[in-house]
Amino acid sequence: MRVCLGPLADLPDGDSRGVDAAGGGRAGLFVIRRGARVVAWRDDCPHIAGARMAWRRDAYLNADRSRIVCHAHGAEFDIDSGLCLRGPCAGERLAAVPAWVDARGLVWLDAPDD
C-alpha cells in the first residue's frame, strides 16, 4: 500500500518517526530523514521476530542519532543499510521499506500489506 507521510519539511532532519500504515494503532514501520532524502525500515528487530524496537514513540535512534537502536537488547544498526553493526544480531539486517521524496517535496512509502 502506498502511503503519503506529508511534506519532508515536517520531518526533523536526522530524526525518526514511527508509521502506522496499517492503522492498527502500532507503528509497524519507521522512517528517518537524512537531509533531502528518507530511509524506511520495518519495526521488526532481526534478533527476535516481531520485537518492536523503539523505547517510546518515534524513538528509534541512539543519543547522537548516528545509528538505529533496538532498545530491547541494544542492537545497533546502520541507518542507510539496515545492517546490524553491534549487538545480539550482528551481521543481520532490518527489512527495508521503499521510501522516497517526490518532486513536490512529499514523502512516500510503499508499505507492506501485512
Phi first, then psi: give them for residue 67, nearest 5 degrees. Answer: -145, 155
Phi first, then psi: give them for residue 9, nearest 5 degrees. Answer: -60, -20
Q: How many residues bind ligand FES (CB under 6 A)?
A: 10
Looking at the Cβ atoms of 3 and 84, the one nearer to ligand FES is: 84
Minimum distance from CB of 2 to ligand FES (Å)? 28
| One-letter amino acid for residue 113 of the chain | D
When asked if residue 87 is in the footprint of ligand FES (CB under 6 A), the reply is yes
40 forms bridges with which residues in the sheet? 31
Instruction: Please identify which residue in 14, 15, 20, 51 interacts with ligand FES, judged by CB under 6 A.
Output: 51
Minimum distance from CB of 42 to ligand FES (Å)? 12
CB of 77 closer than 8 Å to CB of 83:
yes
Phi first, then psi: give them for residue 99, nearest 5 degrees. Answer: -145, 145
Minimum distance from CB of 77 to ligand FES (Å)? 10
* Interface characters, 19-48, with ligand FES (x: CB under 6 A): --------------------------x-xx
Q: Rounded to whole angstroms, how far apart are CA atoms 53 and 14? A: 18
